[in-house]
Amino acid sequence: MNSSTELKVTTKSYCKVCDVSLHSLYCQKVCKSLCGMLVSAVSGIDYRYRRELACNKRCAPFLMYLKRLYILNFKNIESKEFSFSPQLNCFVGDNGIGKTNSLDAIYHLGMTKSYFSSSTLHNIRLGEDFYLIEGSFLREEREEQVVCSVKKGQKKVVKRNGKLYDRLSEHIGTFPIVMVSPSDRDLIHEGSEARRKFLDGMLSQVRPLYLQTLLRYNQALTQRNSLLKLMHERAYFDPDTIAIYDDQLSLYGQELFKERKAFLEEFLPIFQKQYQSISQGKEQVSVSYLSPLEGQDFKQLLSQSISQDRAAQYTTIGVHKDDLVFTLEEQPVKKFASQGQQKSFLIALKFAQFLSIYEHTKVAPILLLDDIFDKLDSKRVGQLLRMVTLPPFSQVFLSDTDKERTEQMVKEITTEYQIFTL
């Protein structure tokens, strides 16, 4: 197929769930993957030339993918430039050569930060005083430029089409991205902070107002904690000033609680379906939301915990203490799930994240698969790649140490791929 080829149009297929005619073969494929009840079988079609037609909104995503990437002085990468396939792209090479860092640079363009490092300065290549990441996206048939740069001693700069953002948070969700990495095991084995970040990351890409509320909550929390510490050092207590911050925390915290709870109710069945598909098993898995605000008034909780807060010199209760509980057959995944079950659980979480973002935004996020052979054997990797080269998945990046293994596998699945040896 070339770029001038028109899509075939048919009115013979319709969805039993959506109850609409599906006019394009692409939309038929998407609806089949989402609803699973398409009446007629459909053949494959090159997704690059799809059109938005008059289907149910669930079946009418728009195209978004990364065309080009330029990296300068980012982590261990001195200078790299890439031109990508809109479907599958593979970074291959020895460990420590920059495969994961190349994926992280892509993540940077969408989320304005590293997936792995909380310190911006640690992302600057040793011996340099700045880094630059520049990407060219195709979004709704328009080319858009995104630049992320940091210089020592200065604030991070993010520009879209040459325009500087006043707040970095304004960029989040514009170019949605989902990363799957061996470090995701922290979601199971580490403390609640990792799981909150996962939840907040999902919500921030689908609900911009959520991110603004979260930032305001964290600002009020930081100020209240600073005040508690100051009052302890100076041996005095000012309940009126504390009450001001309590009002702010209560206002923003209650909203965060409602948003998290509502989102997870939608997320759970998507996740459970993905786990069943990936594991091909019948185990019952669940993700439950644990919050001190459940059935409680936040402001009252803050008032009740003030003695404890004064002694600890920080705020001991609130949505910043929320957690997600992962279970398999009603038992904690961390203690009772096998290594294979844990890997399937994590991949299902990330695929559910992808589909949740897709459902809310109608944009297929860019999918980054870091060192996927660390998580799965060759057979399951093959199944995974077949899955992510079909709608609603769009552009996919992966990393691997074995070029021959990667090339042999992707050749069996698609002709639309690029392999970059680093």
- Say whether both 298 and 409 belong to one domain: no
In single-letter form, the type of residue at position 382 comes to: G
> Could you say which of 317, 334, 351 is where a domain stops?
334
CA angle 419, 45, 81 (to 5 degrees): 25
- Say whether both 328 and 215 belong to one domain: yes
Q: Which of 23-37, 239-253, 322-336, 350-364 has the lowest mean pLDDT?
A: 23-37
The answer, yes or no, to whether the previous bond of 392 is cis (omega within 30 of 0) is: yes
Q: What is the pLDDT of residue 147?
A: 97
**Strand, coil or helix: 133:** strand
Q: What is the pLDDT of residue 392?
A: 87
- Is residue 344 situated within a structural domain? no
- Is residue 203 situated within a structural domain? yes
- Say whether both 196 and 321 belong to one domain: yes
Q: How many Cα atoms within 13 Å fall on the side-chain side of residue 125?
A: 17
- Say whether both 285 and 214 belong to one domain: yes
**Strand, coil or helix: 68:** strand
The tokens for 307 are 């003695």
Q: How far is it, in rounded angstroms, from Cα 348 to Cα 340?
A: 12
pLDDT higher than 70, residue 307:
yes
Give 254-288 pLDDT, tens digit per residue. 999 999 999 999 999 999 999 988 877 778 999 99
Query: Is 225:315 a contact under the CB 8 Å cutoff?
Result: yes
Give 51-80 pLDDT, tens digit per residue. 233 343 344 455 799 999 999 999 999 999
- Say whether both 214 and 318 belong to one domain: yes
- Is residue 354 situated within a structural domain? no
- Looking up residue 146, the CATH number of its domain turns out to be 3.40.50.300
Q: What is the pLDDT of residue 362?
A: 87
> Could you say which of 17, 34, 60 is where a domain stops?
60
- Is residue 30 situated within a structural domain? yes
- Say whether both 168 and 203 belong to one domain: no
* CA-CA-CA-CA dihedral for 329, 335, 337, 341, to nearest 10: 120
Q: How many Cα atoms within 13 Å fall on the side-chain side of residue 293?
A: 23
pLDDT higher than 70, residue 34:
no
- Is residue 84 situated within a structural domain? yes
- Say whether both 316 and 273 belong to one domain: yes
Q: Long-range contacts made by residues 47-53, C-beta under 8 angstroms, separation at least 24?
A: 47/86, 47/87, 47/391, 47/394, 48/86, 48/87, 48/416, 49/1, 49/3, 49/5, 49/7, 50/7, 50/24, 50/26, 51/7, 51/24, 51/26, 53/23, 53/24, 53/27
Average pLDDT, stretch 402-408?
Answer: 89
- Is residue 346 situated within a structural domain? no
- Say whether both 206 and 294 belong to one domain: yes
Q: What is the pLDDT of residue 35?
A: 46
Average pLDDT, stretch 154-170?
Answer: 93
Strand arrangement of the beta sheet that strand 88-92 belongs to = 177-180, 366-369, 396-400, 88-92, 417-421
Query: Is 410:385 a contact under the CB 8 Å cutoff?
Result: yes
- Say whether both 44 and 147 belong to one domain: no
- Is residue 357 situated within a structural domain? no
Q: What is the pLDDT of residue 244?
A: 95
Which residues is 367 bridged to in the sheet? 178, 396
- Is residue 142 situated within a structural domain? yes
Share above pLDDT 70 across residues of the chain, in percent, rounded to a whole number: 85
**Strand, coil or helix: 167:** coil
Q: Which of 18-27, 61-70, 248-257, 302-311 has the lowest mean pLDDT?
A: 18-27
Q: What is the pLDDT of residue 375?
A: 66
- Say whether both 196 and 330 belong to one domain: yes
Q: What is the pLDDT of residue 166?
A: 86
pLDDT higher than 80, residue 248:
yes
DSSP annotation of 109 reads H
Give 140-157 pLDDT, tens digit per residue. 888 999 999 999 999 999
Q: What is the pLDDT of residue 37?
A: 43
- Say whether both 16 and 144 belong to one domain: no
Share above pLDDT 90 across residues of the chain, in percent, rounded to a whole number: 68
- Say whether both 369 and 286 belong to one domain: no
Average pLDDT, stretch 80-88?
Answer: 95
Q: What is the pLDDT of residue 61?
A: 52
263: domain range?
189-334
**Residue 47: which pLDDT band, with cuts at 50, 70 and 90?**
very low
In single-letter form, the type of residue at position 323 comes to: D
> Could you say which of 314, 334, 354 is where a domain stops?
334
How many domains are contained in the chain? 3
**pTM score, whole prediction:** 0.83
Instruction: Give the containing element (helix H, strand E) for 378.
Output: helix 378-388
Q: What is the pLDDT of residue 346?
A: 93
Looking at per-residue confidence, does 134 or 9 come out higher?
134
